[in-house]
Amino acid sequence: MRVGGHQAGVRILPTDTADMTATRPTPLLRLAAVTAVTALLVLGSPVTTTGAAASDGSHRRPCVSSPVPDGGPAPDVLRIAEQAKAELGLKSVILRVTDHGHEVVTAALGESMTSVPADPAMHFRNGNIAISYLATALLRLVDEGTVGLDDPVARWLPDLRHGDRITLRMLADSTSGLVDYVTASGFSEAVLADPFRHWTAEELVAISTGKDQWYDPGTNWSYSHANFVLLGTALEKITGTPLDVLLQQKIMGPLGLTETRNSFTPDIPAPVLHAFTADRGTYEESSFWNPSWTTAPGAVQTTDICDLARSAAAIGSGELLSPNSYRELLNPGTVGLGHPTEKCPETVCLPQTEATHYGMGLLVLNDWVSQHPLFFGYSASQNYLPCDHLAIAVSTTDGPHAPGGHSAHTIAQRIAAALAPGHPIPDFG
């Protein structure tokens, strides 16, 4: 069996892991790609690398800081970012805002390392952003007639416990009932004790399937990293294609995300935005701590701020999907997270409600389609407001006295309040 693009010769089995019992969220949760959820886009084109061809055949300029005009929203956005950087004790803030695909501002504040200025072209981990790519790839396969959302995963993962009752939809919208291995007793301690350890998909899923399910599949909602490890494996089995190749074919290639890529090692392509954390008691570099436990092998990715803003708009608008699949992306019938959300048919704007819920691999936060990775000193936030075609992308790294948490989300909230005051981004979790 191929798992995440690795030749494995092993299967994901419901191994007993009695030494890791499910507990309430541990400190590691705030470091995970989506763990805060567990407690609940000046004119120009979107840019990537010099000479990189977009899906429309055009060429895009490098991801560089934009000139800041005297007027308009760009100076306000920079003031917000500078104030937040100081207030939150951040080492760096990199951001990009686009409006109808045109650049409003791109900027980098602070340092990557001592005396090394942060730069918009620097790469950082995108964590659960890749989970929205998994869900969009699944929905593209649905649009192609390859699979149905309500197909049981046992068809491709016959050894998965309760796989006959868990559907592809349940993996993508996190309603499977599978225990989240990140909450398992001892997992947090194991990761922090050896942050360079490589975790296999088999090890991770075994932790989750070795426990009783939290609830019957499809009857509730709870975030579980295991859902997306399994979804990645299922997508490989469905298509016969390694996951990293599949996501390139279905997502990054069509969207021109030339700086977004998977790595099967902890490496980050140069130039690197370095991260630091005090999670082990001492402020230390964490850039290359192993992210293998965060999601499916083949979807452990890095990106830059220009790709992140492009991703926010493309995924948030359903650019690659049929209208029906876009509706499913935003509202798969998720239970337990507030009111279902439907697309406004005339304005393509989410309704004015207090609805905050999990869609398929992403968050719907009132009017915004969002995702907020958090990993060992890195924080990022991608947000898209469909009715205004506004994308906000932020990446941050922690300074020695930063309180931690979703600082990129906080900055995105403040930018949204300035640029779209009628559409606030709410807190989550």
22 pLDDT band, cuts 50/70/90, is very low
Q: Is the pLDDT of residue 337 over 70?
A: no
The answer, yes or no, to whether residue 81 has pLDDT greater than 90, is yes
Is this structure's pTM higher than 0.75? yes
CB 188 within 8 A of CB 26: yes
For the chain, the distance separating the N- and C-terminal CA atoms, rounded to the nearest angstrom, is: 36
pLDDT digits (tens, 9 = 90+) for 245-267: 999 999 999 999 999 999 999 99
Question: Hey, what are 279's tokens?
Answer: 């999670």
Q: What is the pLDDT of residues 233-242, one digit of tens each?
A: 999 999 999 9
**Model confidence at 28: pLDDT above 90:** no
Percentage above 70 pLDDT, the chain: 81
Question: Does the structure show a pLDDT above 80 at 7?
Answer: no
Q: How confident is the model at residue 48 (pLDDT cuts 50, 70, 90)?
A: very low
Provide the pairing of β-strand 52-53 with 356-358: unpaired
Q: What's the average model confidence in pLDDT over 79-105?
A: 98
3 state SS of 330: helix
pLDDT of residue 332: 84
Distance (Å, whole) CA 325 – CA 136: 9
> For position 53, what pLDDT does the model report?
45
What does 57-84 look like in DSSP terms, one character per residue?
A: S-EE----PPP--SSSSHHHHHHHHHHH
Which residue shows structure tokens 């805002």?
97
Mean pLDDT along residues 118-143: 98
Burial of 114 (0-12, 13-18, 19+ CB in 10 A): exposed
pLDDT at 26 over 60: no
Alpha-carbon gap, residue 28 to 35, rounded angstroms: 8
Average of per-residue pLDDT across 4-9: 32
Q: Percent of the chain, pLDDT > 90?
A: 75
Q: Residue 429: pLDDT band by 50, 70, 90 thresholds?
A: low
Distance (Å, whole) CA 314 – CA 59: 18
Domain boundaries, the chain: 2-419
Rounded Cα–Cα distance for residues 111 and 144 (Å):
45
Q: What is the pLDDT of residue 357?
A: 86
226-265 in b/e burial notation, b at 16+ Cβ within 10 A? bbbbbbbbbbbbbbebbbbebbbebbbeebbbbbbbbbee
What would the two tokens of residue 177 be?
Answer: 């009932």
How confident is residue 355, by pLDDT bands cut at 50, 70 and 90? low
CB atoms inside a 10 Å sphere around CB 387:
15
User: Is the pLDDT reported for residue 195 higher than 90?
Assistant: yes
Residue 128 has pLDDT above 70, yes or no: yes
Span 2-419: which CATH code?
3.40.710.10
The whole-number average pLDDT for the span 145-171 is 97
Task: Answer whether residue 29 shows pLDDT above 80.
Answer: no
